[in-house]
Structure 1
Amino acid sequence: MRTVVLLGNRDTKRTIYFEKAARQNGLPFLFLEWEEWRRCGFPADSELFVKIDPPVWTDGHLSGLNDLVASYRSDLRALEKEASVSQFLNPPRTLMELLDKTGCKQALKEAGLPITQSLGEGIGDSEALLSRMKDMRILSVFIKPVSGSGAAGVTAFRFQPKTGRMAAYSCAAFDQAALKPERSSAFRPPLINTKRLHTITDPAEILDFLDSLLSLGCIVERWYPKADFQGFSYDLRAVCQDGALDFLLARLSKGPVTNLHLNNHPLDASRLALPEDVTSTIKELCRRACCCYPGLRSAGIDILLEKGSLKPRIIEMNGQGDLLYQDIYDKNEIYSHQVRMMKAWLEQGGTL
Structure 2
Amino acid sequence: MSPSPSSPAPGAGPRFAVVGNPENRRTTMFAEAVRAAGHPPPRVLAWRDVLRGRYAFAPGEWVRIDSPGENAEVDRLLRGTAEPTRVEGTALWHRRFTAAVREVTRAAHRAGATTSADPEEIAVLFDKRRCHARLAAAGVPVPPALAGPVDGWDALKRGLGQARIRRAFVKPAHGSSASGVVALSLAGPGRVKATTSVERTPDGRLYNSLRVRDYTAEGEVAALVDALVPDGIHVERWLPKAAQGGRAADLRVVVVAGRATHAVVRTSRHPMTNLHLGGARGDLDAVREAIRAAGGDFASVLEVAERAAACFPGTLCVGVDILPATGWRRFAVGEVNAFGDLLPRLTGLPGSGAENLDTYAAQVAAAPSAVRRTEREEHHHDTPA
Write the letter of the residue equivalent to 1:301. V
CA deviation after TM superposition for structure 1 residue 75, in Å: 0.2
Distance 1:300 1:9, change over 3 A: same
| Correspondent of 1:108 among 130, 135, 140 | 135
- How many angstroms apart in 1 are the aligned matches of 2:312 and 2:368? 23
RCO comparison, higher one (Cα < 8 Å, 6+): 1
- How many angstroms apart in 1 are the aligned matches of 2:154 and 2:121? 35
1:55-74 Cα deviation digits (max 9, x unpaired): 11541111134333322111
2:353 aligns with: none
| Correspondent of 2:333 among 294, 306, 314 | 314
- How many angstroms apart in 2 are the aligned matches of 1:130 and 1:347? 52
- What is the aligned length? 338
- Within the alignment, does 1:199 sit opposite 2:199 as a pair? no
- Within the alignment, does 1:42 sit opposite 2:56 as a pair? yes
Alignment of 1:167-246 (within 5 A): 167-176=193-202, 188-246=203-261
Write the letter of the residue equivalent to 1:336. A
3-state SS of 1:63 partner: coil
CA deviation after TM superposition for structure 1 residue 209, in Å: 1.9
Write the letter of the residue equivalent to 1:14. R
1:267 aligns with: 282
1:33 aligns with: 46
CA deviation after TM superposition for structure 1 residue 264, in Å: 1.0
- How many angstroms apart in 2 are the aligned matches of 1:169 and 1:143? 10
2:342 aligns with: 323
- How many angstroms apart in 2 are the aligned matches of 1:141 and 1:345? 39
- How many angstroms apart in 2 are the aligned matches of 1:232 and 1:85? 49
1:180 aligns with: none
1:251-297 Cα deviation digits (max 9, x unpaired): 10111111112021112422322435341211111222222222222
Write the letter of the residue equivalent to 1:201. T
- Within the alignment, does 1:253 sit opposite 2:268 as a pair? yes
Unmatched segments (≥5 aa) in structure 1: 177-187
Unmatched segments (≥5 aa) in structure 2: 1-6, 9-14, 73-83, 348-355, 378-385
Quick check: 2:291–2:328 contact (8 Å CA) kept in 1? no
3-state SS of 2:264 partner: strand
CA deviation after TM superposition for structure 1 residue 170, in Å: 0.5
Quick check: 2:91–2:232 contact (8 Å CA) kept in 1? no
Quick check: 2:251–2:263 contact (8 Å CA) kept in 1? yes
- How many angstroms apart in 1 are the aligned matches of 2:86 and 2:268? 25
**Identical-residue share of aligned pairs (%):** 28
1:337 aligns with: 362
- How many angstroms apart in 2 are the aligned matches of 1:296 and 1:274? 32
- How many angstroms apart in 2 are the aligned matches of 1:34 and 1:337? 24
User: Which has the larger displacement, 287-296 or 123-132?
Assistant: 287-296
3-state SS of 1:131 partner: helix
2:318 aligns with: 299
Quick check: 2:126–2:175 contact (8 Å CA) kept in 1? no
